[in-house]
Amino acid sequence: MRAQSSATAPTAIAVTTHRERPGLGTLQAALGVTAFSLTFPATAWGLEGFGPWSLVAVRGVLAAVIAGCCLLALKVPLPDRRHWAGLAVVAAGVVFGFPLLTTLALQTSTTSHAAVVVGLLPLTTALFSTLRTGVRPSRTFWTAALAGAAAVLAFTVQQSGGALTAADGYLFGALLVCAAGYTEGGRLARVMPGWQVIGWALVLCLPLSVPAAALALSYEPVRLTAHGVAGLLWVAVGSQFLGLVVWYRGMAAIGIPKASQLQLAQPLLTLVWSVLLLGEHLTAAAPLTAAAVLVCIAVTQRSSS
């Protein structure tokens, strides 16, 4: 009986803390969503000065250096061995897979198009979370999920002239790997501070990101423009580290379902940034599809909670 009480103590403490400060958790998750909404425009800027492989590798190195310095300065001990597998999933999905696949997609796709497709990320995350926990969603959940998927599929086919493009394939792959990383990161954030989750995941990737950055920079040309440098700094510091720090802290404080609901605004925010920062012209289908996905995912979140 004593062992069982000791094992469940951290969860009980975390739940109590989350209930005491829900407002702060909501604010942190909202700040994370705002940071993520700038990722695609910043990536488009970064591609003006760097190749896709260089941009992804260098952003990972810069974010890992910042995270590593924070971990060292605060003398954070290494995570328990049982958490390393989960951290590897976070690293593969959030640190490496999602940035690489979306960067490759943005070479031929507009940020507004990518924002609408990735609007399914909260839904995909909810599905992964359901599979991970073994909870069976209701019929309403599946109906709304299929409706949202159909809306995104119709939009992507219409935008690409009747067929899916390679960029769409990259974006759909990014949805899967990022959802896995979010789900595992949300689970780990219940037993360790959220910033340490992304911090250790970034450090875990250093043996790959450093040689990858050196190799990519030797093959891909670099033009140090203002947009290119600003885009690189934002995706490395804002999206890859600070955004994920407040995002995981928010998820730990208010739970994955409520945090996912806040992320529903991300595609719409990205559409605004794409117009203001990149001068893109939106078709009528983009905001309409984003709104439709917003409604569908809202229904899934309500029915799954």
Let me know if 5 is exposed, middle or buried by CB neighbors in 10 A (0-12, 13-18, 19+). exposed
- If one compares 102 and 126, the residue with the highest pLDDT of the two is 102
For the segment 127-135, the average pLDDT, to the nearest whole number, is 75
Task: Let me know: does 92 contact 172? Beta carbons within 8 Å.
Answer: no
Asked if pLDDT for residue 257 goes beyond 90, the answer is: no
| Beta-carbon contacts of residue 188 (< 8 Å; ≥ 6 apart) | 83, 86, 87, 90, 197
- If one compares 14 and 229, the residue with the highest pLDDT of the two is 229
**H helix runs in the chain, sequence order:** 2-20, 22-37, 39-46, 52-73, 84-90, 98-105, 111-117, 121-133, 139-159, 166-188, 194-219, 226-233, 243-254, 256-263, 266-278, 285-304
125 closest CA partner among 288, 303, 302, 301: 301
pLDDT band at 5 (very low <50, low <70, confident <90, very high): very low
For the segment 32-59, the average pLDDT, to the nearest whole number, is 93
For 163-199, write each residue's pLDDT tens digit: 678 888 999 999 999 989 988 888 888 888 878 999 9
pTM here is: 0.79
Q: Point out the least confidently predicted range of 14-18, 47-51, 152-156.
A: 14-18
149 closest CA partner among 300, 302, 304: 300
d(C-alpha 74, C-alpha 12), whole Å: 25
Tokens matching residue 220: 């891909």
- If one compares 16 and 138, the residue with the highest pLDDT of the two is 138
Tokens matching residue 122: 């909260």
Q: Can you give the pLDDT at residue 121?
A: 83
pLDDT band at 133 (very low <50, low <70, confident <90, very high): low
The HSE-up count of residue 144 (CA atoms within 13 Å, CB side) is: 24
Asked if pLDDT for residue 286 goes beyond 50, the answer is: yes
Question: Angle, to 10 degrees, between the axis of helix 22-37 and the axis of helix 2-20?
Answer: 70
d(C-alpha 96, C-alpha 200), whole Å: 13
